[in-house]
Amino acid sequence: MKTIGELAKLVRSKNAGPFVMTIDIMFADSETYELVKKTGVLNRRMVSEIYQMSENQVQFFEVDNCYAFKISIPRPYFQGDIRDSDSHAGQQYAPFVNLLVPGT
Amino acid sequence: MVAAEVRILAGSGVCGAGFRAESLEEGIGKKPHFIGCDGGSTDPGPYPLGSGETAFGRSSIKRDMRLMLLAAQKEKIPLLLGTAGTSGGHPHVAAAKEILLEIAEEEGLKFSLAVIHAEQDKNFLKKCFKQGRIKPLDPAPMFDEETIDKAERIVGMMGEEPFLKALDNGAEVVLTGRSSDCAIYAGIPVREGIPAGIAWHAAKILECGAASVEQRKTADSLFATCRGDHFDVEPLDQDLRCTPQSVASHSLYENADPFRLVESSGTMDLSTSVYEALNDRCVRVSKSRFEPATKYTVKLEGAEKVGYQTIVIGGVRDPYILRQLDSWLETGEANIHMRIADIYGDTITRNDYALNIRIYGKNGVMGPLEPQKELTSHEVCLILEATASTQEIATSIATIARHKILHEPIPEWSGLITGLACTYSPAHIERGAVYRFNVNHVLEPMDPYEMFPIEYMNVN
């Protein structure tokens, strides 16, 4: 079984404004993207479990024209506020890197 | 009216982040109708907006501005500079304007300048709030008149209309306060007859400079040609390539929704966009749409001062402490609060300061989002962070925190222990004033110009 990190060409996270963060999981070609999509391993529920929040807080997109999955969630703390630990939200994608993709 | 072609040169993703001088020159060779560049973002956090400072240094901004100004003047084309000085408030615009005038003097340039302001008058905001014209976005912090009073400043994000008005009134260089990055680039092509969906999508790609290339090396310029039902985009550094995927994926970057991007005058709909490679480094985009807004809105950004902060950085390596780290810190924290109460009594209560202990090696990066709960590292880094109404109190609390954590006992050891490896002497670092974003709202103005007064001047 391969991991998302091994299959993707880019996994990243970033602020989408100071109040929301967004995670992009991008693949190099439609074959790999479709393969991962078919497994259903990436979905709103698993994202809500990773980040320990309710499913309705998670926006989940399949972006076919760039072979990407996109996830947007509210920040636990607004950017730069006391207790915010990642001003650019640049390292919040980490739990996806070692995620195993069944059937790969 | 259908325009034959509108050619646009984006200097860089941010004025101050840089670009290759050769790339700008290459772009000029393609005869652009105008040059655009934004100067900011909320990406550096609330500090620049709150403090009035710029995120990039003066010299970085001046270098980029000089090259773009010289190129625009030589070609006799407009230069549109949005979101001056990172946040586009009064001090940011003043700083950028000073740099611009300094360059003009050094280079002996003469041009008509429009400076468009975006920092909002607090009485105007209160009036709009009372009239119900300020509406929350999601998620939004609490907003009322007190929010307006507490804010160091609140800026409005202007659309394309004030830029066009300034150009209509003869401005050759337009320097603005907070503006939509895309509005810098979309106004002119839309007015020249390019379909709005094409112009706005091109603007979205242009506003980040060369960020939409396959292997980004560094910040650089980007060129787009809008033509009838499509636009073509290409990097100017011959070593860089735009591919259908690299351009398509740029709509993901820093947006919550990859298909719908909201601007003051409408919403881009990129769900039907088609991307095709024209060659190995140029991409053609078509079928993007733009839905005009039923109600024109201006996004507000504000920052308020939280207080002053002092931190202590240290490490823990003792395996006995590490195996009970949470409870050790919990007791330590309680002792810190007790000591503060001893010293300050009723004059400083728990509501008057914030003590935060960050644990790197555990959940320092992800905080409450961290799915891995157990500690597996052989050492951790602690940041003891005190925030209070004055720097003096913050530092006092940080020094108390250092001393308490330093000697916090564990049952395994009898006698005085020193459980924190402090990095520096003095152990504390004063961080100065800290701010927070306190507005995520839109304002419904009477018209797109109401909030953005334009000041005209002849530079010579």
- Residue B3: per-residue pLDDT: 55
Return d(Cα B285, Cα B233) in angstroms, integer: 8
Picking from A82, A87, A96 by the largest number of B CB atoms within 10 A of its own CB, the best residue to mutate is: A82
Cβ contact B135:B445 at 8 Å: no
* Partner-chain contact A85 B366, CB within 8 Å: yes
Q: Domains in chain A: how many in total?
A: 1
Structure tokens at B111: 């041009």
3-state class of B44 per DSSP?
coil
Q: Give residue B431's Cα distance to chain centre.
A: 20
Q: Is residue A95 part of a domain?
A: no
Cβ contact B47:B21 at 8 Å: no
Q: Is residue A90 part of a domain?
A: no
Min Cα distance A83 → chain B (Å) is 7
DSSP B121: P
Q: Is residue A92 part of a domain?
A: no
pLDDT tens per residue across span B394-425:
999 999 999 999 999 999 999 999 999 999 99
Residues 6+ apart with CB under 8 A from A42: A4, A25, A36, A60, A69
Cα–Cα separations (whole angstroms), residue B28 to A15, B8, B76, B110, B201: 33, 10, 11, 20, 22
Return d(Cα B226, Cα B229) in angstroms, integer: 8
Which residue bears the tokens 């190129």? B71
Return d(Cα B173, Cα B84) in angstroms, integer: 13
Which residue bears the tokens 């564990």? B410
Cβ contact B176:B116 at 8 Å: yes
Residues of B with CB below 8 A from A66's CB?
245, 248-249, 251-252
Q: Is residue A103 part of a domain?
A: no
Q: Is residue A84 part of a domain?
A: no
Residues 6+ apart with CB under 8 A from A103: A1, A35, A39
What is the residue range of A9's domain?
2-77
Chain A residue with Cα closest to B360: A85
Cα–Cα separations (whole angstroms), residue A15 to A93, B346, B373, B379: 12, 40, 24, 30
Q: Residue B419, CB half-sphere, CA atoms under 13 Å: how many?
A: 28
Show the domains of chain B with their CATH numbers. Answer: 6-118+158-297+444-459 (no CATH), 305-435 (3.30.70.600)
Picking from A49, A85, A91 by the largest number of B CB atoms within 10 A of its own CB, the best residue to mutate is: A85
Cβ contact B377:B317 at 8 Å: no
Q: Give residue B88's Cα distance to chain centre.
A: 10
Q: Is residue A82 part of a domain?
A: no
| CATH number for the domain harbouring residue A54 | 3.30.70
Picking from A60, A65, A91, A99 by the largest number of B CB atoms within 10 A of its own CB, the best residue to mutate is: A65
- Residue B158: per-residue pLDDT: 98
- Residue B159: per-residue pLDDT: 98
3-state per-residue secondary structure call for B249-268 = HHHHCCCCCCCEEEECCEEE
Q: Is residue A98 part of a domain?
A: no
Cβ contact B69:B15 at 8 Å: no
Min Cα distance B343 → chain A (Å) is 24
Return d(Cα B184, Cα B174) in angstroms, integer: 10
Mean pLDDT per 10-residue run, chain A (104 residues)?
97 96 96 97 97 97 95 96 97 98 92
Question: For chain A, how long is the longest CA-to-CA vector?
Answer: 43
Closest to B11 measured CA to CA, from B66, B49, B84, B50? B66
* Partner-chain contact B368 A76, CB within 8 Å: yes
Residues 6+ apart with CB under 8 A from B152: B49, B50, B51, B52, B302, B303, B304, B305, B435
**Within chain B, which residues score under 70 in pLDDT?**
1-3
Q: Is residue A60 part of a domain?
A: yes
Return d(Cα B324, Cα A104) in angstroms, integer: 40
Cα–Cα separations (whole angstroms), residue B442 to A94, B48, B380, B413: 33, 21, 43, 58
Closest to B35 measured CA to CA, from B1, B69, B58? B69
- Residue A74: per-residue pLDDT: 96
Q: How many beta carbons lie within 10 A of that of residue B19, not counting itself?
A: 28
- Residue B1: per-residue pLDDT: 47
B143 reaches A (C-beta below 8 A): no
Report the interhelical angle of B325-344 vs B391-406 (nearest 10°).
130
Which residue bears the tokens 């306060």? B177
Cβ contact B192:B3 at 8 Å: yes
